[in-house]
Structure 1
Amino acid sequence: MRHYLAYLLTVILSSPTLTMAAETFITAPTMDVTVKAAITLPVCDINVIQSVGLPHAYPEQFAAGGIFSALGPTDYSGDDIYTPFNITLTNCGSETVPIPRTLRLTLFSPSIVDGVLETRYFPYSSESGGSVTKNLGVVIFNTDGASARNVLLNEFILTDQTATNSEQVFHFVARFQKVGTEEVVAGSYRASVLVNAAYE
């Protein structure tokens, strides 16, 4: 059986005894702090294309009135400004007795701010170095449900799932996201994100 093993750890914190000038002692009250943690078994082989190329865009599309300036991080327009890609899970385990579980599929990066993945800018004349840009990022949507949702804002959660060794395919799309007020300039923009999957 492959799943999270949860446990609780209670830590008692107390402050040191304080000494007053008249040798009177005051002891601060203790406080219970509950710390929750989970131990997980490695599950699922994750297959995803290593490089997702976004459609070419032009600086004027990010200026006022342009298609990208009109879209927020939660807006999915379905236009040709998206690149589709799949995340496929296999070998997630087979249980003798099927147990409804929650599948958590997380796309993570320390460079995600308010649901937007920060990018690094590379001028066309240089392929080395690159600099973090604050005016242009990437958003990623899952398109399996009735409405697309930005999976960089929250993890992708499916309830009442059974761990299976069969192939499971999830559909996503990515596009540029204009942030800030600075002008977007021509060049190469790159970003990276980690994908993690686990049943609990």
Structure 2
Amino acid sequence: MRKKIGAAVVGLAVTGVSLLATGSASSHGYTDSPISRQKLCANKTVSGCGQIQWEPQSVEGPKGFPAAGPADGAICAGGNSRFAELDDPRGGAWPATSVTSGRNYTFRWQFTARHRTTDFKYFITRNGWNPSQRLTRAALEPQPFLTVPYGGNQPPPTLTHSGTLPYKSGRHLILAVWTVHDTGNAFYACSDVQF
């Protein structure tokens, strides 16, 4: 009897360690420059964020944006209903990063699990976009203003790359999309900016 209980305890311990290891592997990445909504939630800069405050790296959804991917109105959460708070425009009151139109900007990603990567794409809202409404494809410029090919390589834990911001004025939203090379998914990060 004592051997059976000991074997059961060892089995449960191994299962627990395996689950912990798998849990960390299921997390991925987010942008912190410009700061994304999920990072604002994790930093406790904003409240009422729900589950995303504990896992800002997990905004994963189908890849292929804008032809495929998350549905309109659910883009900032990657189509993941567990993180729906990211799609709430909060009346246009998300904290915004100050940026300068037409200037070079350094984008930064933080990764908790580094996947082979196809590319990084950055979209921005059109002039006249209403920041108090949920993000839709119609609210975005049709083409990314920056695409960084990554050739199936694995990024380091922190990755930066630079690109020129488009000529805009006022409040806008930048959608960053990290396309994973060897799965059907991508990671999404919405960052509110003020030109």
User: Does TM-score exceed 0.5, indicating one fold?
Assistant: no
TM-score with structure 2 setting the length? 0.33
Relative to total residues, which structure has the larger strand share, 1 or 2? 1
TM-score with structure 1 setting the length? 0.33
Relative to total residues, which structure has the larger helix share, 1 or 2? 2
